Amino acid sequence: MQPITVLNTLGVALAAANVDTDQLIPARFMKEPRSVGYGQFLLYDVRHDEQGRPDAEFILHRPNAANAEVMVSRRNFGAGSSREAAVYALVDYGFRCVVAPSFGDIFASNAVNNGLLPAVVEEDDAERLLAALGDAPAAIDVDLEQQVIRVAEVEVSFSISPVWRTKLLNGWDDIDMTRQHADSITDFAARYLARYPWTTAQPPESTIISKG
């Protein structure tokens, strides 16, 4: 995973609350293999009309939006479905950071697992950033080491769990990290299953019987 330290890039304002993962990627696109690139599906129904024609006014269709790497939005970003495809859509589009006053829990974990920084700011600061960005892509700096975001004269700090910060700064991967603990897992499993033996799933003798 590509580490993140400092981004000096373009940002876009998505001035809406509750941008849920169903909006970030509608369910009908999730049958596609990742190799097709999920960026084309990002916010598809928000930025296209029913005939699939792009809304030229939408922020992602403005000049230079394709180069934006930071999205600023309102509270409860990424709420809802656990679909990691919502993060794939953002990442494949080119985003490396989303800034919002709060995130859906599962979305935030998924983001970090794909090198996308979920930066949490105060509600007032989100409004200041949205105002400073305006309705066209604009210059933005995100510094993960200092936990600071700058747009023109506006400078705000953001929070992120120290564990996630370390993971993102180093581009670490959980499976590699966990496999270093393989022996403790084996020991734990033996102790645990001896103490709670019923948690080993015993296939039923008859497969169909169920209580009504």
Partner 1 sequence: MSTPTTLFDKVWQAHEVHRSESGQSLLWIDRHFVHEGSFHAFNKLAERELPVARPDLTFGIADHYVPTVARDLAGVADPKVRSMIEQLSHNTQQHGVTLFGLDDPRQGIVHVLGPEQGLTQPGMVMVCGDSHTATHGAFGSIAFGIGASEVAHVLATQTLWQSKPKVMRITVDGQLAEGITAKDIALTWIARLGADGARGYAIEYAGEAIRSLSMEARLTLCNLSIEGGGRCGMIAPDQTTFDYLRERPWSPQGEAFEQACAYWSTLYSDPDASFDLEVTLHANEIAPTVTWGVSPEEALPIDHAVPDPEQLSDPAKARQARDSLAYMGLTPGQKLTDITIDRVFIGSCTNARIEDLRAAAAVLAGHKSRVPGMVSPGSTLVKTQAEAEGLDRIFIDAGLEWRHSGCSMCVGMNGDLVASGERCASTTNRNFKGRQGPGARTHLMSPAMVAAAAVNGRLADVRTLAADDNATVQASGAH
Residue 23 structure tokens: 């909006």
Burial class (CB in 10 A: 0-12, 13-18, 19+), 15: middle
Stretch that binds partner 1, among 14-22, 65-73, 89-97, 150-158 (CB under 8 A): 14-22
Q: Which of 2, 57, 175, 194 binds partner 1 (CB under 8 A)?
A: 175
Q: Which is nearer to partner 1, 56 or 209 (CB)?
A: 209
| Interaction between residue 79 and partner 1 (CB under 8 A) | yes
- What is the contact mask toward partner 1 in residues 130 to 169, using x (rule: CB under 8 A)? -------------------------------xxx--x---
Which residues in this chain contact partner 1 in the complex, by CB under 8 A?
Answer: 16-18, 20, 22-23, 26-28, 30-32, 34, 45-46, 50, 74-76, 79-85, 87, 102, 104-106, 109-110, 113-114, 161-163, 166, 174-175, 177-179, 181-182, 184-185, 188-189, 192, 196-204, 206-212
